[in-house]
Amino acid sequence: MKIAFIGLGNMGAPMAANLVKAGHEVTGFDTAAPMPDGVTAATSAAGAVAGAGVVITMLPNGAILRAVAEQVIPSMQPGAVLCDCSTVDVDSARAVADQAVKAGLLAVDAPVSGGVGGAAAGTLTFMAGGSDKAFAIVQPLFNVMGQKAVHCGPSGNGQAAKICNNMILGVTMIATCEAFALADKLGLDRQKMFDVVSTSSGYSWTMNAYCPAPGVGPTSPADNGYKPGFAAELMLKDLRLSQQAAETADADTPMGQLAAALYETFVEAEDGRGMDFSAMLPRFEKRHRG
Ligand code: NAD
């Protein structure tokens, strides 16, 4: 299949490279990043999409997605699918999908989980929103770039699933980190804490698979000086998206709100920028109750 790929940064480049490896013809456009091997460079976003059956975008945010959609939709061939894999706000995802459908195109919002490692290994999870017809067209590409794709419902539902998942992740990471910091102060050995919690009712992905304490549990960014991994500023972005969505939908999310505020302080006023999101543990260790 002829594919256009717009936004070949940390995630987009390895995703596009996997499509090339699977035998697809990929034309790419990025305002700054170089093209990965095998991807033909276009000189504009509109130029990249001409003749493509699927256009994949992997961009920083909703405002940039809206701008790129304005550029590419008029140049896409009728019936082609605009598939956005970026993490953006639900409103932008739905607005872009509406615009695409009105222009005679199909649209899927399909944010991913799995990070740069998953993008390189082709093991991402896709959570998709859009019509059955649109999903059926892009599903084989999800199978190349990832290992699981869940069709979550109509347009915007992929982004809804992503931000709800990541709100749980942010809240749980904070809870795990503050519990480790409390356990330290109570004189509880970290390995014992892990051994108990990872097999008790406090277990979670953040404890069992991504333990924020160095030297405990499986290897994680904590064992590598808290180098990301999943950067604290990306967690902050996703928590802000969850709070923006909660406001629009009139949903009460006090824990998500608090997690967003804590990551905001960590990233913007403390030393969290450039650190993995699990570096909340050393942050809590340094702090006192009052
Ligand atoms: P990135 O900044 O490395 O890549 C974004 C790319 O978009 C850059 O190369 C940039 O030059 C390009 N770009 C910006 N404006 C453009 C435009 N107008 N036209 C064409 N290209 C443009 O970011 P990333 O880490 O690859 O993340 C991309 C998306 O994936 C984000 O929405 C992010 O939240 C999401 N995401 C990232 C991760 C991760 O671990 N990095 C994990 C899951 C989801």
The angle formed by the CA atoms of residues 73, 4 and 53, to the nearest 5 degrees, is: 70
Q: What is the DSSP letter of 154?
A: S
* CB neighbour list of residue 225: distance below 8 Å, 6 or more residues apart: none
pLDDT at 173 over 90: yes
Whole-Å CA distances, 221 to 169, 194, 226: 15, 16, 5
Q: Answer yes or no: is the ipTM higher than 0.95.
A: yes
Q: In which residue are the tokens 């992503």 written?
A: 162
Check if 192 is active-site: no
Indicate if ligand 1 lies below 6 Å from the C-beta of 47: no
Question: Are 73 and 94 spatial neighbours (Cβ–Cβ below 8 Å)?
Answer: no
Confidence of residue 171 (pLDDT cuts 50, 70, 90): very high
Confidence of residue 198 (pLDDT cuts 50, 70, 90): very high
Q: Is 206 strand, coil or helix?
A: helix
Closest atom of ligand 1 relative to the 86 alpha carbon: 32
Q: pTM for the whole thing?
A: 0.94
Domains of the chain: 2-153 (3.40.50.720), 160-286 (1.10.1040.10)
Relative to the CA of 116, which ligand 1 atom is closest?
40
Instruction: Establish whether residue 125 lines the binding site of ligand 1, counting it when its CB lies within 6 angstroms of any ligand atom.
Output: no
Ligand 1: distance of its center to the CA of 61 in Å? 8
